[in-house]
Structures are given as structure tokens and as C-alpha cells.
Amino acid sequence: MYDDTSYQLERFITVPNSTVYGLVDIVSCDEYRCLYVADSPDKCVHRLDLENHDTRWEVEDELSSLSVNPDHNVLVTCRAAGKIKEFSSYGELLREIVLAFEVVNPLHAVQLRSGELVVCHGHPADDVHRVCMMTVPRSSCRRCPPCLHDDCVTVILPTMSTVSAR
């Protein structure tokens, strides 16, 4: 970890029971003062608190990326399954969103305060590479409606996105 002003290294973080090459993403949550680390080979998320205590939970699908939504829950993008899974801070599966078939190879998703999702999708071999904004029902397991072309932006290879609070 680095100091956010001086950029000086303060300490190392160790993720127990993981391999360095399997960790694919890391996000932080100010509300719960913790880090979440995506472990793709083990198909799990590690939650590390300030004392470096590790809690982990299974995702049951290959992970691509993580984000923390406005409700302080963890969004897990599962590329191969074409899903976004929302977990509580302690790993309770709150809902599973099955993306529309044209959202090929989702790589990252962030949720806006309005509830809409911004999803980056498309690998180099895919015909379509886009960033889409979509409305998602709030129920526990729903299929996402198709991406409307007016709500999408074609880019070369979108892999991650972020949203400003402004």
C-alpha cells in the first residue's frame, strides 16, 4: 500500500491461500474499510480488512473484474458465464444478472446511483467491442434487456471503466 499524498510505500498486502498469477483485480470500499481481491483460478473473492484478516467466498464462475457499487456491495463480472453477480460485503449473493446475448465477453461493470450498469465488453477476436449502459431490474435473478445501440459506444478494446461521483 502507498501513501496517497507522498506515494511512499507503507506496507505490503498478502492475500492468504492464493497465487500471485491468479489475482486479477483489486478494489477498495471506504464504507467497510476493506479490500476485495478477485482470485480467478480459485473462482473466489478475498475480503481483507485493515488487520489483513482474510474472508473469502466462492463465486462459482470465472472472474474478470470487481467493482463496489453505491450500496457498498461488490459487483463481480463473470466473463465466460455472461453474468454480473452482486455480493454483500461478507459474501452473501444478493442477485445474479444474466446479460443479454449481444453483450459478449463482459470484462467490467460499474453501477451508477440510478441503478443502471455501465458494462465494458468484447475481446480482440469478437466482432463487437463496446461500453454499454443498461437498466437492470432490482430482483434477485433477472435477464438483462438487450443493449440499445443509442446506449452504447464502440471502442477498440474496453477493459475497465470508472464513474465520477459528480
Domain range spanning residue 100? Answer: 20-154
SS (H, E, C) 91-154: CCEEEEEECCCCCCCEEEEEECCCCCEEEEECCCCCCCCEEEEECCCCCCEEECCCCCHHHEEE
Q: What is the pTM of this model?
A: 0.83
**Residue 150 within a domain:** yes
**Residue 97 within a domain:** yes
**Residue 30 within a domain:** yes
**Residue 26 within a domain:** yes
**Residue 75 within a domain:** yes
How many structural domains are present in the chain?
1
The model's pLDDT over 7-63, given as tens digits with 9 standing for 90+, comes to 999 888 888 888 778 899 999 999 999 999 999 989 999 999 988 788 999 999 999
